[in-house]
Amino acid sequence: MCGHDILRESAAIRSVVALSGQGAGIYDDLTVSENVVFAMRMSGLAVDPAQLRSVIDEVGLGAERDERARHLSAGMRRRIVLAQIRLRPLRLLLLDEPYTSFDDEGVAYVNGVIRSMRERGGSAVIVTHDADRVREVADRTLRLDSGLIDGAEPPGTDALPGRPPHLRLTSHA
């Protein structure tokens, strides 16, 4: 995956993958700032306070910077994750229902993050039921229906009707 062997070089891979699921690892008792800083430190990055402020403002959490995550709505908590993703040098995103709890502005930001990832040469794998919102950023689409992949949407699709779902990740430019 991404040029590395999954089993033997997993440490190298982990520097390029992020996962945005339901709970998404936000600590209730830490503030927005602290949550983002934690993600950066765990990624081995130096924390630049100016950059931190600007990204937190970008995701629309400037006013809540020093609020504990416990006091924020679900949508705001997901924005914290967006800020974390934005600050880390990732090459592959795995996103699970990333549009949940976001208004149009939030959705636009998510798609922006996905686009800038692509511009940097990375990729995103998005699992969502929200076909409309993902359409504008999707290169390829696989539709899952009752456990089988059968849908096809332009352009090129890896449709394998009748076969059990099998995800093969290959590196592409």
Partner 1 sequence: MPDVVWRRELGRVLAVARKDLAIERRSKATLNAVIFFAALTLLLFGFALGADTSAMRDAAAGVLWLTVLFSGVLVFNRSYQLELEAQSLESLLLYPGERRAIFLGKLLANLAIVFVVEVVTVPAAGILYQVPFWPHLIPLIGVLLLGSIGFVGLGTFYAAIASRVRSREVLLPLLLFPMLVPVLIAAVEATTAILAGDPMGNSGAWVRLLAAFDAIFLVAAFFAFEYVIGD
Partner 2 sequence: MTDATQQRTAPATEVIPPRRTVLGWAAFAFLAVSQLIAVRLSPPDRDMGHLQKIMYVHVPAAWSSLIAVVVVAATSSVLYLWKREEKYDLLAASAAEVGVVLMSLTIILGSIWGRPTWGTWWAWDARLTSMAVLLLIFIGYLALRAATDDEDRRARWSAAVAILGAINAYVVYMSVRWWRTLHQIQSSPATVDPAYVIGLRLNAIAFLLLMIYFVSERYRTARLERATERALEDQALSRRGGGEGGGGGK
Residues that bind partner 2 (CB under 8 A): 1, 6-8, 10-11, 147, 163-169
CB of 122 to partner 1, least distance (A): 15
Residue that has been written with the tokens 């990740």 in this structure: 169
- 22 near partner 1 (CB under 8 A): yes
The option from partner 1, partner 2, none interacting with 124 (CB < 5 to 8 A, set by class) reads: none
- 17 near partner 1 (CB under 8 A): yes
Of 10-18, 115-123, 139-147, 151-159: span binding partner 1 (CB under 8 A): 10-18
Which residue in 6, 19, 108, 152 binds partner 1 (CB under 8 A)?
19
The option from partner 2, partner 1, none interacting with 170 (CB < 5 to 8 A, set by class) reads: none
Residue that has been written with the tokens 């809540």 in this structure: 64
CB of 20 to partner 2, least distance (A): 19
Between residues 155 and 162, which has the closer beta carbon with respect to partner 2? 162
Which residue in 1, 2, 4, 24 binds partner 1 (CB under 8 A)?
24
Q: Dihedral angle at the C-alpha atoms of 52, 53, 59, 63, nearest 10 degrees? A: 140
- 41 near partner 1 (CB under 8 A): yes
For 35-56, b/e burial (b = at least 16 CB within 10 A) is: bbbbbbeeeeeeeeeeebeebb
* Gap between the Cα atoms of 76 and 83, Å rounded: 11
Q: Which one, of 143, 138, 146, lies nearest residue 160 by Cα?
A: 143
Two structure tokens written together for 146: 């009752």
109 CB contacts (<8 Å, ≥6 apart)? 58, 59, 60, 79, 82, 102
Q: Which stretches of the chain bind partner 1, using CB under 8 A? A: 11-12, 14-15, 17-19, 21-30, 34, 38-39, 41-44, 68
